[in-house]
Amino acid sequence: MASDLYTGSLLKTLVASKLSGRILELGTGSGLATSWITDGMDKDSKLVTVDNNALLMDVAKQNLPDARIQFVCADGYEWLLKYNGEPFDLIFADAMPGKYDLFEETIALLKVGGFYIIDDMLPQNNWPEGHAAKAKAFIEALENRKDIMLTKLNWSTGIIIAVKIAVD
Ligand SMILES: C[S@@+](CC[C@H](N)C(=O)[O-])C[C@H]1O[C@@H](n2cnc3c(N)ncnc32)[C@H](O)[C@@H]1O
């Protein structure tokens, strides 16, 4: 499911705060949020975007011919466990891996001061049975962490903006 325009606009704005930023999107889909993110990036910023669906990623690739974007067609679980490159300034986690799964591995890839963004945190019509409880538990887990500061927005599909902070 493509992110809505509010999410896109917010991503673009936050990305614009990161000069020469390194951005990670987990869940490219057909590239809607990718296009907003790219629009907020300066010329020296780079985006890595990961999806396991080659058909969707091809749509994104065709519509976004931009040398600043690295399209990675891979399983997000495997990619997160294997990645050993530079950390990121902003992560938009829009797939199960990076959000409900492998969160520790994902937040480890974020720089202190970096943004971790998720949407679809308010009840959605397409949520399968049991997902509401999963979302509630995930939000509680985020709220209890000492290494992030977060704001929950009762806006759009329910966006959470978290910033990684240093812990002693
Ligand atoms: C919510 S959609 C992403 C929407 C996209 N960010 C947008 O704004 O248009 C979730 C995406 O995660 C991808 N996905 C699901 N499981 C995955 C996995 N294990 N590894 C990588 N991508 C996965 C799906 O193919 C789908 O494109």
- CA 19 to ligand 1 centroid distance, Å: 26
- CA 168 to ligand 1 centroid distance, Å: 35
- Percent of the chain at pLDDT exceeding 70: 100
Distance CA(155)–CA(160), nearest Å, equals 10
Residue 119, pLDDT score: 97
Task: Taking residues 54-72, report their average pLDDT.
Answer: 98
CA-nearest residue for atom 5, ligand 1, is 29
Measured from the CA of 92, which atom of ligand 1 is nearest? 6
pLDDT per position as a tens digit, 79-89: 999 999 999 99
pLDDT per position as a tens digit, 107-159: 999 999 999 999 999 999 999 999 999 999 999 999 999 999 999 999 999 99
What are the b/e assignments for 93-128, b being 16+ CB within 10 Å? bbbebbbbebbeebbebbbeebbbbbbbbeeeeeee
- Percent of the chain at pLDDT exceeding 90: 98
Residue 45, pLDDT score: 98
Between 168 and 82, whose confidence is greater?
A: 82
Measured from the CA of 3, which atom of ligand 1 is nearest? 8
75 in ligand 1 pocket by Cβ < 6 Å?
yes
Residue 168, pLDDT score: 84
Place of tokens 């986690």: 93
Distance CA(122)–CA(104), nearest Å, equals 22
Task: Taking residues 10-19, report their average pLDDT.
Answer: 98
Residue 92 reports pLDDT greater than 90 = yes
Residue 166, pLDDT score: 98
Nearest to 119 by CA among 81, 93, 145, 80: 93
CA-nearest residue for atom 12, ligand 1, is 27
76 in ligand 1 pocket by Cβ < 6 Å?
yes
Are the beta carbons of 28 and 49 closer than 8 angstroms?
yes
Residue 1, pLDDT score: 83
49 in ligand 1 pocket by Cβ < 6 Å?
no
Task: Taking residues 51-65, report their average pLDDT.
Answer: 98
